[in-house]
Structure 1
Amino acid sequence: MPNLGDGAKRPLRDAPAGSRVLRDREKALAAGCDAYDTKPIKMRRLLGKIKNLMEK
């Protein structure tokens, strides 16, 4: 772990996973994607998103 100078240490991946996912989602939607999903892919969730997109 990196030393912060005052003796405190923190993991390299300091940002919560949720905030990283939100940034990735925003980037994908801004680039023109219709939807965004995360890994691991869950078939029921994926099929639900496809169904919603087809109903639009």
Structure 2
Amino acid sequence: MTLRTHADGTTVIHGEVPDQAALHGLLHRLRDLGLPLLSVDRIESSDSPRRQS
């Protein structure tokens, strides 16, 4: 994970999480710290397998 702080006071957390459980754990930690969450974006990596429907 990387953290980048911007001049407007926001911080971007960027990195991979192995699964939804790990993502939920990260979101719970942010909530427990009282940090407001502005957005969550999913970005496909070029080496991640694509799920087929």
TM-score, with length taken from structure 2 = 0.35
Q: Which is helix-richer, 1 or 2?
A: 1
Pick the structure with more strand per residue: 2
Higher gyration radius (CA): 1
